[in-house]
Amino acid sequence: MSETKLHKTLRPLPSLCAALTVSAAALISAPAAHAGGPVVIDIANVVRDQFPFYRTYEASPVNDPRFIEIGMAVDSVDCSKAIAGNAQVERMSLTSSPGEFIFTLIDHGQNELGRDEPITTAGGTITYTKAVTSAVTNGVSVSASVSLKNSPGNVGADFSFTTTYNYSRTDSTMWSEAAAYQYPPGNITLSPGGRYIADGYLRLTNSSGTVRLSADISGTCTVKYHQITRIGNGATITRTVSLYDLIGPKNDRGNPKPPQINDMVKGGTKLLPKLPDGLALDASRKVVSFTGSGTFSGTSGVSKSTQIWQLPPDRLGLVKGYGGKCVTPRGQNSSTQLGPCGSDSWRFYSDGTVRTSGGDKCLGTVTASWNGAEVRAVPCNGTVAQQWRMKADGSLYSPAADRCLDDYAFGTNDGAPIVLWECNGFPNQKWMFV
C-alpha cells in the first residue's frame, strides 16, 4: 500500500460538511478494555426484541466466526415520510419512589438540543418538547411523539415504543419533537432493592432510520438507514451503522455527549471482532448505535462495560483540509506545522495513533489541554496523549485533551502552527484522510 500523508485543503469558512472519508473496506478492531467509565448499554437486558425499531435477518454467506459482518445501503423514499433529526434516550432509571426519566434531544449532527428534568414523584407522565432549527435545505416542520412504558414485574428491558410524526408546514426551518414516559404510581419492584436501571444510548427515530432531506420534499429523499440484524457468530448488517464516541465532551449533568465518529459509505464493509460471549460489544468507552425498524434479539451474558472501536493501520491516508498544506514536524521531537506536501507521510493505526510512515513517531500532545497547546511528533509511547478519534465532521479529536487538531488562526502559509483547540466544527479543524 502506498504511503499516506497528513494534508489540508482550502474550504469555505461556512462549510460544516464532513471532510473525513473512510475506506469502503475499512476494518474496526477493539483494543484492550478500559477500566471504569460510564455504563452505556446492557445488551442482555436493554436491547431486546421489545424494540420495534430493530429488525433481525438471516446471517449472510460470509460467516467468519471471529467477526460481526456489517454491510450498508443508501435508499430513496417518499419525502413525505422523512424527518430530519432524532430523539435519544440518554438514561432511564426507575426506583420504588421516586422514579426518574432523563430525556435528551439531539439533531442528526449529534448536537444536544435540549433536555428535560427528572420526574420527582412516583407515578406520572413527563413530556418534553423542544423546537430546534433543522439542518435541512428545504426546511420541513416536523413534530414527533415518543412514549415509553414499563411493564412491572419483569426484570430487564420491557418497554413499548410508539412514534408518531406530523408533516405539515413546508415553509419553516423548524422541527419539534416530544417524548413522554409513563409509569404507575406506588412502589415498583423490578429487581433486588426495588430498583431498575437501564443505561444506554437508544436512538429513537422514525421507523426508517436517520433521515437527511433533499431540497424538494415532493420528490424522493436520500435516506441513510442505521439498522443491525443481530449480534453474534458472524451476524450480518444490511443497513448502515454509525459509531458514537463516549469519551467526548460532557453535558451539564456530567454525562457524555456522543459525537458521531463516522457513517459507513455505500457498498462498504466493516468487521467488528467477536468476543467469546458471542458479542462484539465488550471493549471500553464507545458504543455502536443501531437504529432501524423491526426487532433486534440480543444475547444474554454480555457485561455492561463501555465500548471502543478504532480503525487499523493503512486504511486511511492523505489528510486534506483548510489551506492546501500538509502537516510536517519542525524537527526531531518537535512541534508540527503546515508545510509543502512532500515526503512526510502519516498513517492512522488501530490503537488510535497517527504515526509517521516509519511508525516510530506519533502525533501527540504534551500533557496540555488548553487552547493553543502545541501538537508534537514524538516517539510513540502508548499513552492516551497520543490517541485520536475521528469525528463525523472531519475533525481529529484528542480524548486526553478534550480538544481537536487545529490549524491555528486559519493559517495557510508554511510554518503555521498546528495546535489543540476546543472542537468547533470550523474548516480549520477539517482533516480528511484520502
Q: pLDDT tens for residues 260-273?
A: 323 332 222 333 33
Query: Does residue 298 register a pLDDT over 50?
Result: no
pTM of whole model > 0.75? no
- Average confidence (pLDDT) over 96-125: 31
The residue that leads in pLDDT, 355 or 252, is: 355
Find out whether 394 and 375 touch, Cβ atoms under 8 Å.
no
Nearest CA to 212 out of 134, 150, 271, 277 is that of 134
Note the pLDDT of residue 420.
92
| CATH 2.80.10.50, the chain: domain bounds | 319-433
Query: Does residue 356 register a pLDDT over 60?
Result: yes
Pick the CATH number of 319-433 from 3.40.190.10, 3.40.50.2300, 2.80.10.50, 3.40.800.10: 2.80.10.50
